[in-house]
Structure 1
């Protein structure tokens, strides 16, 4: 009996790890490249070790064939990919916002390595991405992500068939919402840039001999950075509320 109990708990542990470990490889803040893989796996293993006794009663028994077991594990990995991508796509809105702001402030060519997006990005985009990660940790939204992963076992019950159509629809909607959020956060800078370029065109008409782009560019950079300093807190508060709304859908009602 003891050996059967150990076998059941081991299967439940690895079944939970298939979903939770996949989420932690993509989760914003924890699943980024600058966090060592060993650290991510250790956190995922620790959480699985804690919650296995709590969820083992609602998990399916170990399938009799290896093919069925592989299909079950693959379905759990798919659910983990889905949850992790929803969080990662939502955070990508800050990358869109920073890129647009850099474009409007003539800083689009000032590039730096972005550890969040894992690619070359503008200075402002990198700053907003890193600030977003810090605020997610400071405001304990990473606890909400972990809670969402655990409570997702009530929403996506292991062993039941997955609705890939719903997965695709939600991911497409999340991409659209993320891009819309990025444009919304940068819309004030778009309006100020529009007013700036209209005034620049009028000035160029009035003074054709004046190299307006060279003379006025420092004012554009200073003005947009000053506007960013004033509006940064409101931008990040709105982003955090949208990120919370994206994660809360996985919580048990």
Structure 2
């Protein structure tokens, strides 16, 4: 039976796609049941394995275990590079909350399974909805499917050992940090000016209780500035998502280069 010979190849495809869905934005959310993620990975892997020409791969050998590990690293690497870029939004919210004083109100996020700040969670929800509205989840799936044109299932990846991937990860971290700073900079700067003004008022008029006046004032300024800068936030998201898709594409080319 020919289809029995295709099972090892199908399992390798299934491993890459399943590992890709573990860290990638949207699909990584814990609110999505794991059985749905596995089912989606199964049917995508089935379509891919039926549409790609391949030579028979011997199963349950030392070489096959190496290929399983390689496929896992490829899937995790592609998903993680998208996650790094998307995390800039959460990082920007952390910068803002540290300056606004909302960092004390961090709460549990069921989507990520960690404690997150209020602004970071709000911006993360907006970014997720925006990514869904522009069919970004389809582009992410298209990215992992495109990887099979560059990284063969039975081929090894030399870039795992020559340092190109680690260098690219560091560059992506740097770009994500800069984008997070650009997102947070206007609000952080304005709140810093509010702190300076409150400090001057505290020196000139010591009878004013800054603990009573300062926090409501900073909260009001924070909400007003957040509302005014909301359209610009979506413009930054457009650039951020473009960079995310380009990073995934560059990661595929680095892994696929001989």
TM-score, length-scaled by structure 2? 0.89
Find out whether 1:163 has 2:159 as its counterpart.
Answer: yes
Please state how far the C-alpha of 1:247 moved relative to its aligned partner. 1.8
Q: Is residue 95–residue 128 contact of structure 1 (8 Å, CA) maintained in 2? A: yes
Please state how far the C-alpha of 1:203 moved relative to its aligned partner. 1.1
Matches within 5 A, 1:9-24: 9-24=6-21
Matches within 5 A, 1:73-222: 73-158=68-153, 159-164=155-160, 165-222=163-220
Partners in 2 of 1:233 and 1:8 — Cα distance?
54
Q: Which moved more, 1:130-139 or 1:38-47?
A: 130-139
Please state how far the C-alpha of 1:172 moved relative to its aligned partner. 1.8
Please state how far the C-alpha of 1:181 moved relative to its aligned partner. 1.3
Q: 1:74 to 1:217 in 2, by over 3 A?
A: same
Partners in 2 of 1:65 and 1:110 — Cα distance?
51
Q: Which moved more, 1:216-225 or 1:238-247?
A: 238-247
Partners in 1 of 2:55 and 2:228 — Cα distance?
53
Extract structure 1 runs of 4+ deviating beyond 6 A. Answer: none
Please state how far the C-alpha of 1:169 moved relative to its aligned partner. 1.4
Q: Is residue 111–residue 120 contact of structure 1 (8 Å, CA) maintained in 2? A: yes
Give the unaligned 5+ runs of structure 1. none
Partners in 2 of 1:40 and 1:179 — Cα distance?
29
Please state how far the C-alpha of 1:114 moved relative to its aligned partner. 1.7
Q: Which moved more, 1:154-163 or 1:11-20?
A: 154-163
Q: Is residue 148–residue 248 contact of structure 1 (8 Å, CA) maintained in 2? A: no
Residue 22 of structure 2 is matched in structure 1 by 25
Q: Is residue 89–residue 174 contact of structure 1 (8 Å, CA) maintained in 2? A: yes
Give the unaligned 5+ runs of structure 2. 254-258
TM-score, length-scaled by structure 1? 0.90
Partners in 2 of 1:216 and 1:73 — Cα distance?
57
Matches within 5 A, 1:235-246: 235-246=233-244
Query: Root-mean-square deviation (CA), in Å?
Result: 1.9
Q: Is residue 112–residue 126 contact of structure 1 (8 Å, CA) maintained in 2? A: no
Q: Is residue 96–residue 125 contact of structure 1 (8 Å, CA) maintained in 2? A: yes
Q: Secondary structure at the match of 1:26?
A: coil
